[in-house]
Amino acid sequence: MSQQINLFNPAFEKRKQALSAQGLLRGLGLVLAASAALVWFGARQVAALERAAADAKVMLDAREARRTDVFARFPVPGKDPLIASALGQAEADRSALQEAGQILQGGELGTTRGYADYFRAFARARVNGLWLTGASIAGAGNEIGLQGRVVQPDLLPQYISALSRESALQGKSFARLDMTTAQPPAAQASAPAPAPALPGAASAAAVPAPAPRFIEFSLQSSAAPASGAGTVKQ
């Protein structure tokens, strides 16, 4: 006789759990509660932003009203013609001063260092047989004129060379030369004439030597044309 043994345990069998209506209601309630919380939080944030915007608008309106009141009580003055004229005059004075400064720096009206260096240079550049009778300097030494006398014409180039070695005359040159031969005045015309020689007397009377002649010269740094410039006149 055979015996059957049942090894099936119902406790280990998979059971399908069906969602109950009560569980559904609970889940739906949780979802609704969370949505309501989010809506409430968003509404609070929107309300806070609206209040901040309203406060900012009120503050802006207050500042605009204050600005309008200030402009009404203290209107902006227009341009004063006197002030505009004074500014124009000041600008003209400034331009004039700048122009005057440029003229002074350029030496058009003279030099701020004086002319002592030039005259010392004229004195140091001495040549025996040549002497100056006049000198003129215009502006900042741009126009130099020298007048003098020389016993021999060949001494004049020596004097010009000596002048060119002076530091005060560096870069200067003479472009015009006038030379004229002159003679000192003879003996006075009122002197008594010599008595006629006696017959038989020795006619070895001393003949007076002619007075030495000299040459007058004029040196100019300007190359202005002049009649007889650079020629010797007898």
CB 232 within 8 A of CB 179: yes
pTM over 0.95: no
Question: Judging by beta carbons within 10 Å of its beta carbon (0-12, 13-18, 19+), is residue 59 exposed, middle or buried?
Answer: exposed
- Residue 98 pLDDT: 83
* For residue 31, pLDDT beyond 70: yes
Match domain 116-185+212-233 to its CATH number in 1.10.3470, 3.20.20, 3.30.1360, 1.10.3210: 3.30.1360
- Residue 143 pLDDT: 82
pLDDT cut 90: percent of the chain above it: 17
- Coil, helix or strand for 217? strand
**Domain boundaries defined on the chain:** 29-73, 81-110, 116-185+212-233
* For residue 204, pLDDT beyond 80: no
- Mean pLDDT in residue range 145-155: 90
- Residue 203 pLDDT: 44
Beta bridge partners of 135: 146
Q: What is the pLDDT of residues 95-126, one digit of tens each?
A: 888 887 776 666 555 555 667 888 888 888 88
Tokens 């030379």 correspond to: 179
